[in-house]
Amino acid sequence: MSGIPFGRYELLRKLAAGGMAEVFLAREWGEAGFFRELAIKRLFPHLVDHPPSLRSFQIEARLMGELCHPNIPQVYELGQFDGQWFVAMEYVDGHNIADLSRMSARAGYPIPLSVALGIVLQVAEGLHHAHERKDRAGRSIGFVHRDLTPHNIMVTADGVAKLMDFGVAQTNATLEERGAVRGTYAYMAPEQVRGMALDRRSDVFALGIILYELTTGTRLFTGTDVQIMTAVTERDAPPPSSRVSGYPQDLEAIVMAALARDPDHRIASAADLSLHLWNFAVRNGLLVGPRAIAHHVQLVAPRSRLLDEELGFVDPRISQPGIPISDFDPSSFSSEAPEDTGIRRSWIPAPSDEHLKSGVFSDAARAVLLEEDDEIDLADLLEDDGPPEWDDDPPRR
C-alpha cells in the first residue's frame, strides 16, 4: 500500500476525523528497509490559527508523551510539517468497547463476565498510572481524564485495553474556571456535572459506569442531556441485581461503591478499584489475562480493524459518544476487600490453554445472556421486558 509523503512519514489512509483533528494510518521509514506502522493525528488546517484549539492539541500530546504504560497509547512525536501540526503515536488496531459490545451481541457471544472484568482491570491500571504522574519536583500533576467512555477504550486483537483520547484531560497546569464542564454527560460524576472541582475519584465514577454496563448489558443514563444530568446528580443507580438476576453480591458492592455520589464515600482510586476487582475475580475463578480477552475479540471480530474498514464492515469515522447511568450513594466502603459471600460461581471460567484450543470457552460465552434464537440487535437487548439471567448451569458439551 503506497501513500502520501508527510515529512519522514507516509500517510496510508484516513482512519477517523473528529472536531479538531483527523487521524491517519501511517508508515515511518528508516535505514536498511526498516519501517513501522503508526498513527498520525493532524490538526485541521483552519484551527492552526485558533490559539485555544492549537493549545489543547499541544497539551494533549505533551501529556500523553509523559505517560508510559501498556494500557495507554505511546506518543512518539509532536511536530510540524509544511505548517501543519501533528502527533505521531502508536497505532491501536482494535475496537472500542462500545463497538465490541455490539459485535458481541450480534454474533451471539455477549462479553463474558471474566472478559469484562479483565478489560476494566487493565483500564484501571492505566488510569492509575496517569493519576500518579508527578512533575519534575515530585508533585502530583493532578491528572483527571474527564471523558472516560466506552468509545474511548480500545481493545486490541491481542487482548490489550488502551485508554484513549486525552483531549479534555485536566491537570493542575490546565485548571479551568470553576463551572466549566467538559466530557460526556452520560459518563460524568455528579461533581463534574455541577462544574465543581475534580480529582481522580471523578474518573473512578466514570469507570464504575462502564463496569456496570459491561456486566449488566444495560445502559444506565438515557434521555436528553438535561434528563441525564438530573439523573446523575439526584437519583440513585439501580443495583446491578435489579437488572441481572443472580448478579454476584460482592461484585455489586464494588460497583455501587464506585458509583457513590459523594466522592468521600466513593472508592478512592483506580488502584483501589483494581484491587477489589482482582480479589473478586480470583475468589470466583474469573481472573483472565490478555489471551482470553483476545480470544473473545477474535471470536466476534476475527478480521483486523484495517481489513474490516477496507471491506466496509467498520465505519472509519469517529463514533459519537454515549452509553449511559445513574448513581448510588452507599454511606461508606471498606478499604478492605469485600468478604466472600458464598455466591454461586458464574460459569464463565478463566480459560486454560486447553479451553482455548478446544473451543469450550466459546461454548461458555455462548451460554450467557442470549439464547441461540434470541434477537441480537443491541436496541432490542436494551429494551427487553425483563432482566437477563446469569447462566448458573455449566455449559453442555
> Which residues participate in catalysis according to the annotation?
147
Of 359, 356, 381, give the one whose Cα is nearest residue 370: 381
Burial of 305 (C-beta count, 10 Å sphere; 0-12/13-18/19+): buried
- Residue 92 near residue 105 (C-beta atoms within 8 A): no
48 in helix, strand or coil? Answer: coil
**Cα(243)–Cα(312) distance, integer angstroms:** 35
Q: Could you give phi then psi for residue 40, rounded to 5 degrees?
A: -115, 120
Burial of 224 (C-beta count, 10 Å sphere; 0-12/13-18/19+): exposed
Type and span of the H or E element at 28: strand 21-29
Taking the CA of residue 92 as centre, how many other CA atoms within 13 Å lie in the half-sphere pointing to its CB?
A: 25
What string of H, E and C letters represents the secondary structure of 293-344? Answer: HHHHHHHHCCCCHHHHHHHCCCCCCCCCCCCCCCECCCCCCCCCCCCCCCCC
Instruction: State the amino acid at position 384 in one-letter form.
Output: D
Report in angstroms the alpha-carbon separations of 53 from 21, 67, 75, 165, 189: 10, 22, 19, 15, 25
- For CA atoms 201, 248, 388, 214, give the dihedral sign: positive
**Cα(346)–Cα(129) distance, integer angstroms:** 31
Residue partners of 371: CB distance under 8 A and separation at least 6: none
Q: Is 83 left (phi over 0), alpha (psi -120 to 50) or beta?
A: left
Q: Per DSSP, what are the bridge partners of residue 14?
A: 24
**Quick count: other Cβ atoms within 10 Å of Cβ 151?**
21
272 in helix, strand or coil? Answer: helix
